[in-house]
Amino acid sequence: MKIKFWGTRGSIPVPGKDTIVYGGNTTCLEIDLIGGKKVIIDAGTGIRSLGREFESQKEDVDIYLLITHIHWDHIFGFSFFSPIYKSSTRILVDGDKSCMKGLRYSFDNKMGDGFFPIRFEELKADIQFINKLSHSYLEIDSTFIDSIPLCHPQGGFGFRFREGTKTLVFLTDNELDVKKRSFSDYIAFCQEADILIHDSHYRPEEISEHRGWGHSDYQSVLDLALSADVKKLVLFHHAPERKDSDVIKMTILCQDLIKQKKSNLEIEAAKENSILIL
């Protein structure tokens, strides 16, 4: 698998001098599978640049689009994803059961006079909801993808990709340490993952004021990664107020905590435009 981050930021895009390193765009990942197919996760503002990349390659776009949930920061970029305006594009959508509603509402949510000059029905691309992940798993060539419900207001899904012996888990907008879902379920889902990408929106001292907002602090995420024997943890969904220097500080702090535990867990923070190979 090749994983590229097109958007790493949580809640709202924050372009500017303070977010040059880790990026200001909201959630979007591009995952190249071993069989040659492509899976995109979420349509945050990062998906706009991905669309431009597709345009430069001049090949027909034939992709899977998995949507974790339809909060604004995860779908807002869809109407600016240029391949949706081409009849040669095919997009198979899966993920949270409300995902088509979210993509549709990024064009017109019937509030005021709508959001966008054209309607969802006018898009030229073939966009189909395949609806596998809410009750089963998705098999794409030799890659298996399954899901777990998120602890997040209005719900959502986290995803696990398995290719041979390699496992990638993506869990964003997930509040660990709440009673809704047992911590042990997440440990089982992440067990021995090669890479776990997890929302670490808060510092531990910030979490008590934001209980129930649907995000985790880095200490809970470290506990999950250690308990599940994860090999590499990637901190994700950086809070909009977190400058590059703050993300670096948080990462170093996490690495120090891990050293004290004498663990080999690798830790890094997700950077826009960076690539991980698995």
Q: Is 42 in the site for Zn ion (CB under 5 A)?
A: no
Task: Tell me the number of residues near Zn ion by CB under 5 A.
Answer: 4
C-alpha separations of 212 from 52, 177, 215 in Å:
37, 10, 8
Specify the residue, 4 or 71, whose C-beta has the smaller distance to Zn ion. Answer: 71
Where are any strands of DSSP class E within the chain? Answer: 2-7, 28-32, 38-41, 62-67, 90-95, 126-129, 138-140, 143-149, 157-163, 166-171, 195-199, 232-236, 266-269, 275-277
Closest distance of CB 245 from Zn ion, Å: 22
Interface residue with Zn ion, options 73, 163, 194, 217 (CB under 5 A) = 73
Q: How far apart are CA 203 and CA 189, in angstroms?
A: 24
> Distance of alpha carbon 101 from its chain centroid, rounded?
18
Q: Which is nearer to Zn ion, 28 or 140 (CB)?
A: 28
Which one, 234 or 265, has the nearer CB to Zn ion?
A: 234
What's the closest the beta carbon of residue 21 comes to Zn ion, in angstroms? 20
Q: Among residue numbers 205 through 224, which ones bind Zn ion (CB under 5 A)?
A: none
Q: State whether residue 247 is helix, strand or coil.
A: helix
Task: Quote the CA–CA distance of 183 and 174 in Å, as a whole number.
Answer: 11
Q: Six-digit token pair at 237?
A: 């969904």
Interaction mask 146-175, Zn ion, x per CB under 5 A = ---------------------------x--
Q: Is 4 in the site for Zn ion (CB under 5 A)?
A: no
Q: Smallest gap, in angstroms, from Cβ of residue 165 to Zn ion?
A: 31
71 binds Zn ion (CB under 5 A): yes
Q: Which residue has the tokens 């696990």?
A: 160
Q: Select 94 or 194, whichever has its Cβ closest to Zn ion.
A: 94
Contact residues: Zn ion, CB under 5 A: 10, 71, 73, 173
